[in-house]
Amino acid sequence: MKTDDTLLTAYVDGELDAAGVAEIEAAMAADPALARRVRVLRDATAALRAAFNDVAREPVPERLLAPLGAQAPHPWRVGALRRYAAAAAVLAVAALGALALLPAIGIELPYAIVAQQQDGWLASVSNYHQVYVRSQARDDRSLVDIGGEDRDYLEAWFGRRLKRDLRLPRLEAVGFRLQGGRVVFVETQPAAQFFYKAVDGGDIVSFTVAETKRKDAGWTEVKRGGLGVIYWRKNGYAYVFAGAVGREVLERAASTMGEREEKI
């Protein structure tokens, strides 16, 4: 039983190779007691995860942020965090009868945290991008404030948030479809980040508009945390395209926007 438990646990944790998985699944099919044990182990794992996940959603206390040169979230961002917490509560309640169904959500939330540094604004843009990509991999849609079905609504909603006229790039010609957008914080200012997904495959390109006090900058191509990034700044706004895609693809995506007035 002990040996079995070791293998079954490794199976539940996804640590067995294909041959091991096949072996366990065959054994489970033949032995209902074994299958039941796997369910019990899986339920216990899900319950464990659920019991601690909300800690990662709490705002990080000031005393931990300050020594690292970071700031606490903007007040109304905390409100947004509460909304996530409320959504998590609803999920937890819904899953009460079936704890095994509790999703492994919310490992990282886009905290409104910006280290005071030269390049910090770009690092946070790419971090937000990565958080979204990881949430997509878990099929977790809660990180999008508004879905991409209604472009006009999306432009109006985020335009109001950013207090400016907002036009979203159309990337259909490059092979990407709008997924949705969310409010993030870049250098303590609200910013809007929009995600586009490749029509054929999982590649994701993000477009971020952020208010900035930095001086204007022309079209710049850099790498940040495994992402290709193209940005420029004009008239108090930064425009950033990011994605783990080929340089040419990203250039074509950014050009759809750059052909308009913002490009220098």
Residue numbers at the binding site for another protein (CB under 8 A): 2, 5-6, 8-10, 12-13, 15, 36, 39-41, 43-45, 47-58, 60-61, 63-65, 67-70, 85, 89, 92-93, 95-100, 104, 107-109, 111, 113-120, 123-124, 127
**Separation CA 236–CA 155 (nearest Å):** 19
> With respect to another protein, which residue has the nearer C-beta, 115 or 146?
115
> With respect to another protein, which residue has the nearer C-beta, 16 or 209?
16
Q: How far is the CB of 145 from another protein (least distance, A)?
A: 19
Terminal-residue alpha carbon distance, the chain: 69
Q: How far is the CB of 121 from another protein (least distance, A)?
A: 11
61 in Cβ contact with 3 (< 8 Å): no
Q: How far is the CB of 226 from another protein (least distance, A)?
A: 11
Q: How far is the CB of 223 from another protein (least distance, A)?
A: 13
Beta-carbon contacts of residue 112 (< 8 Å; ≥ 6 apart):
71, 72, 73, 74, 77, 184, 185, 188
> With respect to another protein, which residue has the nearer C-beta, 10 or 146?
10
Q: How far is the CB of 257 from another protein (least distance, A)?
A: 27
The per-residue b/e assignment along 37-70, b for 16 or more CB within 10 angstroms, e otherwise, is: bbeebbbebbeebbeebeeebebeeeeebeeeeb
> With respect to another protein, which residue has the nearer C-beta, 45 or 136?
45
**Separation CA 41–CA 6 (nearest Å):** 11
> With respect to another protein, which residue has the nearer C-beta, 75 or 97?
97
Task: Determine phi and psi for 208, rounding to 5 degrees.
Answer: -120, 135
Q: How far is the CB of 130 from another protein (least distance, A)?
A: 9
> With respect to another protein, which residue has the nearer C-beta, 97 or 201?
97
Strand, coil or helix: 199: coil
**Separation CA 184–CA 110 (nearest Å):** 7
**Separation CA 159–CA 154 (nearest Å):** 8
